[in-house]
Amino acid sequence: MYRVPNIDFVTKHDICIGCGVCQNACPQNAITIDVRNGMFLPAVDNVRCNNTRGCHRCYDVCPGLGINLVDCAKQLYAGGDVFEDKFIGRYIQCHTGHSTNEEMRYHAASGGMLSQILIWLLETGKIDGAVVTRFDTSAPLKVKTFIATTKDDIIASRSSKYAPVTYSQVIREVKKATGSRYVFVGVPCQIEGVRKMMAKDQRLREKIAGLFAIYCSGTRTFYFTEYILKSRNIDIGNVDFLSYRDNGCLGGMVVKGKGIDYYEDYQSYSNPLRTIFYPRRCLLCADHFGELADICFGDIHIKPYSDDKIGINSLVVRSRYWNDMLNEACSAGVITLDTLDENTLLASQKMAKVKKTRNITFCMLNKKLGQPVPEYGTLYEAKLTCKDIINYFRMSVERYVGRHKLLWCVIPRIKSKVKIK
């Protein structure tokens, strides 16, 4: 008889994203999340684990295994005013906008809209807390999720982290917290994990007021940051402050510390290294915008918006309630909001199409090779070609190099645009 496995199956087949939802879902407390190979990964204590007695809660909530995006979104977002697009998902409205606080816009990742909305929601008592991510003060370059309840907490967590982020422990903390209206902020796969857990856990459902996603073209392992700092001769032990996206629209990496005052444009440090430090699961991801989140926040680097140098957001809003909230925040003067048409949005987010075509062909290829892949329950129109196969193997080799520090010396050779300072 087939026994549903536990989360070890996901880790073993390298489709784990390290979101940590499994750790929160385990009734036996048998899962810990630690850093291995530059990623957060679950480890199962087999003495405590009840899998041999039929428990597979960790497996059931794992977003690494995929989720039927189309069917789930249909259940969540229905009604005559809901549009559907195969790349954007189901939505009520798309917007551009930004925080009206210039300092926030300048130091946040895009237009500071996400952090500004959270501050407004907290200060007007509309939510009790928000699960966000900041650098871990006890471990340089590591990041930590926590429940933010004040403006200062939100400011400390703003801007994008191009590093693994885990919800390990924090979902349990939300379930135990006294309030009943929490917002989770995360990349699309993390939001999928929370949705999966909400479907199984009434207590969690009762606590969550909304899920906010940030668009995601793919995250990076911790080795990404380590490589950048080492190749720029920055002593990691002396780093006190790091931001991947500071100083205006798109902006760049700011590193400060003892004898360190470093700045480099985002495109300069990030673009050439991109696939080298991708977790494998990102190559199999179909969700760019966050199709199961109530509001999704991103950039908009397309004319005329790219002329703006301080910071601007694009947004996809899927829930009527959250669209009303955004309009209320706009009337209160904390954000600006303008309508954005879906064609302009899609033209500005090339990865949305890549994920539903190239990444789906990568899933098809792995399936043919007998490897487990995330299942999205939908037949996306993708055709596996020789080019995809070559692309996949090229990226796999690059990722192999990224995972092995002894091979880092070849990175400037395989990526000619990589800078060594």
Binding footprint of ligand FAD, residue count (CB under 6 A): 31
Our finding on whether 22 is near ligand FAD (CB under 6 A) is no
Q: Which of 41, 49 has the CB closer to ligand FAD?
A: 41
Our finding on whether 325 is near ligand FAD (CB under 6 A) is no
* Among 67-75, 168-176, 295-303, 360-368, the segment contacting ligand FAD (CB under 6 A): 295-303
How many other CB atoms sit within 10 Å of the CB of residue 150?
Answer: 12
* Among 9-17, 32-40, 104-112, 195-203, the segment contacting ligand FAD (CB under 6 A): 104-112
Give min distance, CB of 43 to ligand FAD, in A: 21
Q: Which of 30, 104 has the CB closer to ligand FAD?
A: 104
Residue from 146, 162, 182, 223 binding ligand FAD (CB under 6 A)? 162
Our finding on whether 121 is near ligand FAD (CB under 6 A) is no
Our finding on whether 216 is near ligand FAD (CB under 6 A) is yes
* Among 29-37, 157-165, 339-347, 369-377, the segment contacting ligand FAD (CB under 6 A): 157-165
Our finding on whether 110 is near ligand FAD (CB under 6 A) is yes
* Among 5-13, 66-74, 161-169, 302-310, the segment contacting ligand FAD (CB under 6 A): 161-169
Residue from 66, 298, 372, 402 binding ligand FAD (CB under 6 A)? 298
Residues that bind ligand FAD (CB under 6 A): 108-115, 132-133, 157-162, 165, 185-187, 214-217, 219, 297-299, 313, 349, 351
